Copies of this chain bind each other. A is one copy, B any other.
């Protein structure tokens, strides 16, 4: 059987045979390199601003932030830096550009969004007991939970300080939006933890979608909306770009969940079946469980068994087949395509000229298909 998920994520190596987005199949190579260029350019613009902000922190907060961003090793010596793909700052800058604004004035705001994202990563890693982030030990495993919590708090404050000190007329509205987004992210992270504690048959697909929107879609939407504010856009365009980012974020989450079952070893290093081994209630799994099929009953029974530990879980193949037989995989692919189509509709509302929307579209393609 063709592993469409892997195809979707490897369009850099060749065109996808089947993907969640039907548009622009022929343009993929172009979009791929465009996204890579936009991301590299965003990283280059935002990094000096980020470094300057982090360097302004007092001793220990600075050290933890520099470690978390990959700019220092745990012992304080310089490191090459693996600060992630800069997707959120790239969305801010691409949104400014799509609406005819000057990207240069929004670099600080883009850095504030990236700091906010990283504050949530620091805290989520503490909460989820995750031990690896960007191929390195998470900050709390190196510096302890208390200091990781405090460093996260400091990064949230730093992000807000950057916007509060920004004389741009859109800065206050951007700060308010970013703060609202943090509240939504917090509730989303709470919902995620709460869902994972519940029995699979008590969890509805709507709850999981709402959680994914809060936890993943909200900040992507906020990044785009902040870009619109820095371009001086009106209320309608700001909201439409927020909607674009949210919908693309949902599509991204669906694809990420498929990768958590069928794998993408060439790109993320996340092994196939990882989410099944963790008995994660990811979107394809919950969709499968809700299907009322015999495969759903089998999956429920398999998910109820405790995991015997890495490498010993002989049920993983049966689970993956049950998710597929119950329609969870097809649902996720269809739903990701639907979300992407909604994202593009929102984008068209905000940016009527398709040639201006190219950067945002390329980034959305990138996050949902993991082209590179």
The reply to whether B156 and A189 form a contact with Cβ atoms under 8 Å apart is no
- In the complex, the count of this chain's copies comes to 2
In the bound complex, residues from chain B placing their C-beta under 8 Å from that of A147 are: 190, 193
Q: Could you say which of A173-181, A251-259, A351-359 contacts chain B?
A: A173-181
Interface pair B161/A179, CB less than 8 Å apart: yes
Among residues of B, the one whose C-beta sits closest to the C-beta of A171 is: B172
- Name A190's contact: one of B127, B150, B160, B173 (CB within 8 Å): B150
Determine if A60 and B187 form an interchain contact, defined as CB atoms under 8 angstroms apart.
yes
> A-side binding surface: helix, strand, loop or mixed?
helix
Q: Which of A57, A145, A186 has the most CB of B within 10 A?
A: A186
Cβ B172 vs Cβ A164 within 8 A: yes
B123, A190: Cβ atoms closer than 8 Å: no
| Chain B CB within 8 A of A220 CB | no
- Tell whether, in the assembled complex, residue B187 and residue A158 are in contact, meaning their CB atoms are under 8 Å apart: no
Pairwise interchain contact B179-A150, C-beta atoms closer than 8 A:
no
A186 with B123, Cβ < 8 A, contacts A161-B176, A164-B163, A164-B164 known: no
Q: List residues of chain B with CB within 8 A of the CB of A175.
A: 160-161, 163-164, 175
Are A164 and B183 in contact, with the CB atoms below 8 A?
no
Let me know if A21 is at the binding interface, CB within 8 A.
Answer: no
> A150 near B176 (CB under 8 angstroms)?
no
Whether B157 and A156, one on each chain, are in contact in the complex, defined by CB atoms closer than 8 angstroms, is yes
Docked Cα-Cα span, A127 to B175, in Å, equals 28
Question: Is there a chain B Cβ closer than 8 Å to A154's Cβ?
Answer: yes
- Assembly CA distance A120 to B61 (angstroms): 15
A64 to chain B, nearest CB (A): 9
Q: Give complex CA distance A171, B171 in Å.
A: 12
A161 CB contacts on chain B under 8 angstroms: 175-176, 179-180, 183
- Shortest Cβ gap from A348 to chain B (Å): 30
Would you call A202 an interface residue if the criterion is a C-beta within 8 Å of the partner chain's C-beta atoms? no
Task: Determine which of B57, B183, B193 lies in contact with A58 in the assembled complex, contact meaning CB atoms within 8 Å.
Answer: B183
**B126 with A149: CB separation less than 8 A:** yes
With CB as the reference atom, state the residue of chain B lying closest to A181: B157
Instruction: Please tell me if A3 contacts chain B, counting CB pairs below 8 Å.
Output: no
Q: Is residue A316 within 8 Å, beta carbon to beta carbon, of the partner chain?
A: no
List residues of chain B with CB within 8 A of the CB of A151. 186
Please, what's the 1-or-0 string for A44-86, where 1 marks a CB less than 8 Å from any CB in chain B? 0000000000000111110000000000000000000000000
Residues of B with C-beta under 8 A to A193? 146-147
A184 located at the interface, meaning its Cβ lies under 8 Å from any Cβ of chain B in the complex: yes
A56 to chain B, nearest CB (A): 8
In the complex, A165 has a CB within 8 A of chain B: yes
* Chain B residue, CB-CB nearest to A176: B164
A182 close to B (CB within 8 Å):
yes
Q: Roughly how many angstroms separate A186 CA and B58 CA in the complex, as a whole number?
A: 9
**Which residues of the partner chain B approach A126 to less than 8 Å between Cβ atoms?**
149
Given known contacts A127-B146, A149-B127, is B157 in contact with A187 (CB within 8 Å)? no
A34 an interface residue at 8 Å Cβ cutoff? no
A39 to B156, CA, bound (A): 30
Query: With the chains together, A120 CA to B150 CA distance in Å?
Result: 9
Given contacts A183-B157, A184-B58, A187-B58, contact A150 B123 (CB under 8 A): yes
In this complex, the member of A60, A120, A150, A175 whose beta carbon has the largest number of chain B beta carbons within 10 angstroms is: A150
Task: Show 8 residue pairs from A and B whose CB-CB distance is below 8 angstroms, ordered by the A residue.
Answer: A61-B190, A119-B153, A126-B149, A153-B153, A156-B156, A156-B157, A161-B180, A163-B175
Chain A contact residues, CB within 8 Å of chain B: 57-61, 119-120, 123, 126-127, 145-147, 149-154, 156-158, 160-161, 163-165, 171-173, 175-176, 179-180, 182-184, 186-187, 189-191, 193-194
